[in-house]
Every structure is written in structure tokens, then in C-alpha cells.
Amino acid sequence: MRAVDQWNREIPVVAARGGIYDRNGQQLAGNLTTYSVFIRPNAVQDKEYAAQILAALFNVSESTLLDKLQEGNVSEITVARQVDESLIQKLISYNLSGVYYARDNTRVYAYGDVLCQVLGFISSDGLGLSGMEKTYDNILRGTDGEIMYTTDIVGNETQNTRIVYRGATDGDNIRLTIDLEIQLAAEQAMREVYESSNAQRVSCIVLDPNNFDILAMVNYPSYDLNDVPRDDSQALNSLSRNSIVCDIYEPGSTFKVLTAAADLQEYINGNTSAFSPSYIFNGSRTRSVDGTTIRCWSDHANGKHSNQTLAEALNNSCNPCFTDIALALGTDTFYDYLNCFGLGNVTGIDFSGEALGMLVPQSLVRDCDLARIGFGQTVAVTGLQLACAVASAVNGGNYYIPRLLKSVVSADGTVVEENQPILKNTTISAEASDLLCSMLEGVVKEGSGKRAYIEGYRVAGKTGTAQKYENGAVAAGKYVSSFVGFFPANDPQYLALVIVDEPEGSYYGSAVAAPVAKTIFEDIIAIKNIKPFE
């Protein structure tokens, strides 16, 4: 075989990488046809002349190239990659012996930084390195071919050269669940809050709660996929990180949606420890648990937050009410729901690097831990985890595996594979879900979520404001502001989670995050031409 290889040479025929499209067929990533240029030193008749021409055409060092040609210890040198066709035409005009070219592909992203952490990028030789480019590299990449021909012992084509052509098999296209119009709307809204709040980072996910199709996913700051900062690994690692999937945070009051869901289901199940929707939580809202004092964010002056139902506790985001629920249900029952909602585990999304979240092991939970978990402390989630958990709580109790891939499509438009929704488990009943949706609609109509209210569209949701921790202690003045919402409340079709990390100035989720969700929902209403529901 070694002897045969010495008498044969191959020119690669590079497969075209498959394109990436949104759910409606809008191209997000494609290819610009370019070329790679190679030189075989043994086949070059005038090395100095060849080095001079190639250096001028492709902006490479003439002396370095000439040294490589004269060394003669390599069979082939790559002169340039991703060369424009106009330069190839000039190269052809010189008719240089021993110089060859072959098509390669330059990856082009139609919208620059849009979806940059989701789409990801490829290496210089066309391998997916991150995001969807990496996850579905085996589908997108295709199989390269080659042109093989016989040469003499020094690499020159012979008079009777035999040429064998093996064509490339281009990669298939993939279609994502992403809706580009909704993505662009979410990008604009998140960019504006990132700039206006001077936050460290902002993230957003929009999904269809009926099957967990991800319609939009945004992280800022971002970077241009057509100008990847490959020379700055630290910046690239930070900017390319899909934080809503890969990073965890303490959710704060948005987590109360799950605590309320567990209570409502246990009440329906007949658990006498659960609180009914009409139960009145008493007005004293300071409670000591294992020596830890649980307080409401309000001082309850002038009867504020006194004697409230579960719906009113959600409106007011009163921490001790949710402490009461968690402690009343007990560790075993409450953890059964947390497990059903996917806490402390991956969702199974088709994206690498998903974080597990952080949940105190059930065997180690103390009452003070359980009390705080009830209102979203002493627990950490990814944005994706929380969005999916809430979606299952408001869609009738169905928890699906979230997905980014909708289908695989061949170059001729034939659907090769349709990625169907997969129901993972159920969390609560439709009855409990309906009750919860009604209560969360009240939060937007009358409670802390008022700034997400849209006349006629029955928006529901929950705000969250969580203190950040550094080195095990509360970081003064550092908060994560969030809002999770959906509409219409009686038949959820769109759900959004907005996270603003360390905003300056106002930091309450009601003031920072809720208005952003409203903007996104209003844009969706306009994009989809959704008529008022009432």
C-alpha cells in the first residue's frame, strides 16, 4: 500500500455543509463557495517563480513558502484556504505546475450575532465546535470526496495519468424550532434592557408550552458569528456560553409558581396538610425555623399582606406563606414535586453542556432549607429548567423534553427526519393547572406583575428578585431580576422567561424584567396577528 500511495495523489473534494434554518425555512447559516490552494513541491518546475506568484496572490510570505518548497520533505503544502473565486481565476492564468485548488466552504451567518450561542461556530477545517453546529455536526458535515490520479515517482503527472473521481456527499440541512421573527423581537427587547440597566448579563427564552418547542433563546452580551474572536479564548468562552442552558442561578420568587402548584395538587388529592385556595394565611409574616428568621420583603405595616389567600400571596409575593406550604407538605412530598418538575436534573435538551441545577440532597434537608426552597432560595436552576417546569405547571401538567431541532431536510427539500415532541412525565393535574393559571393571571392584573399586563390578552406570570451570593455570603447590592409569564392564561400558547443579572438602579423583577416580557408578548401579538381574547 505504501508503494501505491507514493504513485498516487489526491485532491480533496469538500462536501458542502448543510444549512441551518428556522422553523419557517428562513436560512440562519449557509455557505459561501470558496477554495483551498495546495502546492506539491516535487511537481513544481520553477520554485522561485511559483513562490513569488503565490505570495502576491494570497498574501503569504514569499521567503517562507520558498523555504518549504526547497526543503522537499513534505508531499503537499496548503497555501491558502477560503479563497475567493476571482483569485482562483488569476491563479489559473499563470498555469503553474504543481499547484492545485479545490472547493471548500466559508460558513456565513445571515444575521451576525443573532442566536450566536445557539447556532455556534465551526473550525477552519469545517468541524462543528459549539452550539447546533457541534450537536448536529454529523448531519451537517456530509462526506468529502477526492480526485485521485497517478504520478511519477517525484509527483509529476504522467502522460498516461489515470484520473479517478469520487464525488462528495453534501450534508443535510437542519430546521430548528426557532421562529426567527420572534427571535429578532426578543433580541431587540433584551438588547435594550441590557443597555438601559447596565446589567452584567441578560437572558431570555420563549417556548411553546404545549410541546416545549424553543421559539427564541437570547443571551447578551453576544458576538458576531462572522467574526469569531478566536484569538481571545477567554472572551470567546464567555461570549459563546449559552447561559440560559449552561449556567445556574437562585430563582427567587418565580419559583413560588412551583410551590403553589404542589400545594394545589395536594389539596385536590385530599392531603389535609395542603392549603385550600380559600385558606387565609395569618397576618404575622415573620417566622423562625431552626433558628433562621423568615421574613416577607414587606414590613406588613398598616395591615399590608395581612390575612391573605394563596392567590393574594402570589400577588404580593409573600415569602412566609410559601414557607408555610413547603413545611406543611414536608420534605418527602415536596421533593416528589421538585423531582417531577425536573429540579436537580437535566431537561434533556439537544444542546451540549446543560447544567444540572443544584438541589440539596433530600436526605440532608433541614426544615430551614425546606422553608427557603419554598420561596426560591437554597435552590439553583438554569433558566431552561425553570421555564420548562413552569410550562408544565400551566399547560395541564405535561412535561416534554425541550428541543431545538425540528427536522432534518435534504438538499432537495425532502424531510429526512421529523423530530417529534416527547412527553417525559406529568407533574400536576389539569384541574390544579387551571387553578394556578387563574391565580397567575391575577398576579399580572392586580399584583407584582402589573407591568406585564396587556389589555385584552390575559397575560399571566410571576416576578422574581433574588439576592446573589459570593463566597457563601450575600453580595451587597447584587440581584437577579426575573419574570416568567405566558398568554393567554386560559390556553397558554407562548411562555417567556426574562432574566436580568445585576441591573444597576432599580432591581425588582416587577420593574426590570416584567416590562421586557410585555414588549416581547406585544411583538408576538403583532407578528402572529393575534386578536384580543376579551
Q: Which cell is 203 given?
A: 437572558
Q: Strand runs (DSSP E) across 278-426, as ranges?
A: 286-289, 292-295, 358-359, 379-380, 398-400, 405-409, 415-418, 423-426
Reduced 3-state DSSP string for 198-243 = CCCEEEEEEEECCCCEEEEEEEECCCCHHHCCCCCHHHHHHHCCCH
Any catalytic annotation for residue 306? no
DSSP letter string over 381-404? B-HHHHHHHHHHHHTTSEEEPPBS
Cα dihedral value 431, 435, 438, 443, nearest 10: -150
Q: Facing residues of 9 across strands?
A: 149
Judge contact between 410 and 416, C-beta under 8 A: yes
CA distances from 506 to 61, 332, 391, 400 (A): 56, 38, 28, 35
CB contact burial 206-231 (16+ within 10 A = b; e otherwise): bbbbbbbbbbbbbbbebbebeebeee
Judge contact between 123 and 129, C-beta under 8 A: yes
Q: Which of 214, 229, 122 is nearest to 171 (CA)?
A: 122
Q: Which cell is 371 given?
A: 422553608
Among 197, 253, 448, 481, the one annotated catalytic: 253
Residue that is written with C-alpha cell 447596565 in the block:
198
Q: Which cell is 70 given?
A: 526547497
Per DSSP bridges, beta strands 173-176 and 20-21 are: parallel
Q: Facing residues of 150 across strands?
A: 8
Cite the active site residues.
253
